[in-house]
Chains A and B, each alone.
Chain A
Amino acid sequence: NAGVTQTPKFQVLKTGQSMTLQCAQDMNHEYMSWYRQDPGMGLRLIHYSVGAGITDQGEVPNGYNVSRSTTEDFPLRLLSAAPSQTSVYFCASSYSFTGGTEAFFGQGTRLTVV
């Protein structure tokens, strides 16, 4: 039972580079979301999706794009990396029509932008 899988686990980018953080879940969850976690700031919601083809902005969406073409995958794209995007990124999923509403998290991607 894989749950929520994030890749890569670690990444170093140069300012201005772009990249995609991958997130996949195998629980048939409708709801998926991306958070960033910074010291003293807690978890902040970047983008979320309530189903395939539907996405919306969270609290800190600037500099990030998402799309949801399948139920399983929810990639997060950094368009032009900035040092302020140095953070730990978590993907989460929850809610299936046949299951409950318990949220599950991936192991995180630790991103450093230099």
Chain B
Amino acid sequence: KQEVTQIPAALSVPEGENLVLNCSFTDSAIYNLQWFRQDPGKGLTSLLLIQSSQREQTSGRLNASLDKSSGRSTLYIAASQPGDSATYLCAVRPLTGANSKLTFGKGITLSVRP
């Protein structure tokens, strides 16, 4: 059974710092991995999707990497801002197909201090 772990559960950093959020998974047979952002009281917003054949994806100040063999993904946030404060979740889709269930980590709650 696939398990997705995100440690630590919470992180507080000063504004301007570059930071890395980690996601690990136990079964490397994945179709893709997706990073989400969730603001308090809101739904999940998709940030980046990495296919199993890709090593990384970039969007603005965000860069996500994937190392399937080691079961790890990282979300790099450059020059963090208070507006980046939110919970960040990763989710993996199994290799059984595009039409299959996501497994989520419990998320990392990020606080960026002004």
Contacts and interface: CB of A to CB of B under 8 A. Distances in A.
A107 interface: yes
Contacts of A51: 99
B18 interface: no
Nearest to B46: A102
Interface residues of A, number: 27
Contacts of B36: 105
- Interface SS of A by simple majority: strand
Contacts, number: 54
B72 interface: no
A101 B104 contact: no
B34 A102 contact: yes
A74 interface: no
A88 B89 CA distance: 16
A101 B98 contact: yes
A102 B104 contact: no
B107 A42 contact: yes
Given A92-B44, A106-B43, 15 more contacts: A33-B102, A40-B106, A48-B101, A58-B101, A92-B102, A94-B102, A101-B31, A101-B32, A101-B93, A102-B34, A103-B34, A103-B102, A105-B43, A107-B42, A110-B41
